[in-house]
Chains A and B, each alone.
Chain A
Amino acid sequence: MQDNYQSSSYKELEQKSKYTNMFLRWFLYFVLILFASYFIFPLYVMVVTSLKTMEEIRQGTLLTWPSSINFDSWLVAWGGRGYGAGDTFLRPYFWNSIKMVVPAVFFSTFIGAMTGYVLTKWRFKGDQWVFLFLLFGCFIPFQAILLPMARTLGTLGISNSVVGLVLVHTVYGIPFTTLFFRNYYISVPTELVKAARIDGAGFFKIFFKILLPISAPIIVVTVIWQFTQIWNDFLFGSTFSFGEAAPIQVALNNMVLSSTSVKEYNVDMASAIIAGIPTLIVYVLAGKYFIRGLTSGAVKG
């Protein structure tokens, strides 16, 4: 009797916990979907609006699907309307940004890797102070360095140029890239360096032949980080360059704000998407390494 009573009550409890679990699960889905749509919604509006004509935008609501897919506004955003004065479009500035971002990412990553290598594998007296001061660079607000940097660029004669922006972004990126590489290399056994020294390899050979080949995960992390930072930067771009040397984010701003006539929402939206596409591409191509690199710890010898 006792046994029977026990088993039936367990069955009841089992049933109850099943319902509770089911309810919680659906609640979880609901919350997740809510959050996901919160983030996707603006993108949806942007894409949909960029594909509509102005006529349609005026008549319909934000959410309505375009009656016909129309890429005209994308072409205008990229290449302009073809008449002379006052026609701002993204193409030249896009290339400005590329010309700025590629060298800036390359140099800041490379220098960061070198610095991280020295700070972990060629320790010297006071190296932790050097690292500490470099870390300050991560926390100094962008605005604080605007004036001194403007003076520096002026003295060097590279203000209002892509070269100047490359310098600014490289210098400002070094604290971050150094931090990444230092934290990665600190988990690489120093015995590797000792072994290579006994084998007769020097400072640069050890870096290029031993350490760099095992740095792929952290290189990817650094490149994504730096690319996103530099591509999306507006403050340095708008402060240190104007007119033809401006990067794409500055041009986007000018384009959206400067139109004297009617606001062309479809062109604005298309421009915004174009300005954001490269970072998306970098994420999609290297995203899985990004997570792996962020979480990877020791290098197994």
Chain B
Amino acid sequence: MKTLKIEELSKNFGTTEVLRKINLEIDEGNFLVLLGPSGCGKSTLLNIIAGLETINEGNVFIDDYNVSKVEPKDRNIAMVFQSYALYPSMNVKENMVFGLKQAKTSKEKIEEQLEKVSTFLQVDKLLERKPSQLSGGQRQRVAIGRALVREPRIFLFDEPLSNLDAKLRVEMRREIKKLHQQLKTTVVYVTHDQTEAMSLGTKIAIMNHGVIQQNDTPENIYNKPSNTFVADFIGSPSMNLIKGKLIENSNNISFIADGSTLEVPINNYDFIEKSDLNNKEIHFGIRPEHIYFKKLNEEDFDINLRADLSEYIGHEQIVTLDYSNQEILAKFPSTIKIELEKEMKLYFDLKHTSLFDFKTKERL
């Protein structure tokens, strides 16, 4: 039984296609993050799961029950919003129990739930306050509390941290993670922040233009991006994509960048399909953090590159390098002294490369 299953879901606003043939499944207790640039349809997808938006095609199942036409209140879900959406005229207590009261829950049950959740979230001292008298973090906690008291099957979070300042955001991120570890609830979480997605999710679904680009564990998203969009979207700075082609002769496969004669051996690369590779135009992907200043592994490939620019950002520096007229970035500890306008010996970690078909943008 899947806690949440989305089947062939499509949605359009007028003539604009917002979601296209979305398929998604979540097991009990998982934390799924919907990640993507603004306008990719992730919030719409969340609203559809909540029942706040109608569906044009496809179905949504919760616990194998088709809820596509079920009212939001009857879907056994709870939602935490970006603006918290606490009812301004009600105090914290009234805010938290509003849903239970609508559902005609007994007074004893309401009191019990309120007591339990408010002590758990440490808002039990704030029950009489109005939302306007709370700090950002407290509002956040009350909003989560309002979701918790209903004991839903699925928690939906719509960019809940993006209104907080940087420091508080990191704190609240940790609290949400802790919450999920303790309660083991199923969560769908929307964000455009990759750090949030990486640190919170057990699964991440990356979306662009209404299509899920990759739905995988954070590790696979980072190490094995399924196309150039994911490769480019995850990581800061993002993965270097070097244009060039493959050369295959007698079981040796290597990569030659455009305008270069240097052959980079990629015999150990784990191809999805190992056929018709000779002369294939590709993007050779390597993350800035996988270009080393010192040889770390036996099979690291040494290469001479010219450094053009160095950006100091505290614990590390980002160096712009020239690879046969293609700009690539590398990340080094800031203790290393880089001489600009000069060639130096660097090492590519070939265990961490990704190859993409130049035309289809898909992983090879």
Residues on A lying within 8 angstroms of B by beta carbon are: 189, 191-192, 194-201, 205, 209-210, 213-214, 299-301
Contact = CB atoms under 8 A, between A and B. Distances in A.
B73 to A, nearest CB: 4
B79 A194 contact: yes
B218 interface: no
Contacts of B79: 194-195, 198
Interface stretch (B97-105, B299-307, B337-345): B97-105
Contacts of B87: 192, 195-196, 209-210
B78 interface: yes
| 6 A-B pairs with the lowest CB-CB distances in the bound complex, closest first | A213-B89, A200-B102, A199-B99, A200-B73, A191-B85, A195-B85
Which of A196, A199, A201 has most chain B Cβ within 10 Å?
A199
A196 B146 CA distance: 11
Given A199-B99, A301-B139, A194 B73 contact: no
Contacts of B51: 198
Contacts of B72: 197-198
Nearest to B80: A195
A300 B88 contact: yes
A194 B71 CA distance: 12
Contacts of A192: 85, 87-88
Which of B73, B86, B88, B103 has most chain A Cβ within 10 Å?
B88
Contacts of A198: 50-52, 72-73, 77-79, 99
B contact face: mostly helix, strand, loop, or mixed: mixed
A112 to B, nearest CB: 20
Interface in B66-113: 72-73, 77-79, 81-89, 98-99, 102-103
B358 to A, nearest CB: 43
B131 interface: yes
A214 B88 CA distance: 7
Contacts of A191: 81-83, 85, 158
Nearest to B131: A301
A193 to B, nearest CB: 9
Contacts of B103: 200
Contacts of A197: 52, 72-73
A77 B88 CA distance: 49
B89 A210 contact: yes
Nearest to B74: A200
B199 interface: no
B102 A201 contact: yes
B84 A301 contact: yes
Interface in B250-278: none
A290 B342 CA distance: 70
A199 B98 CA distance: 7
A194 B85 contact: yes
B324 interface: no
A210 B72 CA distance: 18
Given A198-B72, A199-B99, A199-B102, A301 B88 contact: yes
B132 interface: yes
Contacts of B88: 192, 213-214, 299-301
Contacts of A213: 88-89
B116 to A, nearest CB: 18
Contacts of A209: 87, 89
Nearest to B47: A194
Contacts of A214: 88-89
Nearest to A193: B85
Which of A197, A200, A205, A214 has most chain B Cβ within 10 Å?
A200
Contact of B52 (A194, A200, A300): A194
A197 B99 CA distance: 9
A189 B81 CA distance: 10
Which of B50, B79, B82 has most chain A Cβ within 10 Å?
B79
Given A195-B81, A301-B139, A200 B99 contact: yes
A64 B167 CA distance: 72
B81 A199 contact: no
A200 to B, nearest CB: 3
A85 to B, nearest CB: 57
A299 B103 CA distance: 28
Contacts of B99: 198-200
Nearest to B103: A200
Nearest to A212: B89
Interface in B293-348: none
A301 B83 contact: yes
B339 to A, nearest CB: 52
A80 to B, nearest CB: 49
Interface string B112-151: 0000000000000000000110000001000000100000
Contacts of A194: 47, 50, 52, 79, 81, 85
18 contacts: A189-B85, A191-B82, A192-B87, A194-B79, A196-B87, A198-B50, A198-B52, A198-B78, A199-B102, A200-B73, A201-B102, A205-B102, A299-B88, A300-B132, A301-B83, A301-B84, A301-B88, A301-B131
A19 B132 CA distance: 48
Nearest to A213: B89
A258 to B, nearest CB: 52
Contacts of A299: 88
Nearest to A198: B72
A230 B174 CA distance: 58
Given A191-B81, A194-B79, A301-B131, A199 B86 contact: no
Given A198-B77, A200-B99, A301 B85 contact: yes
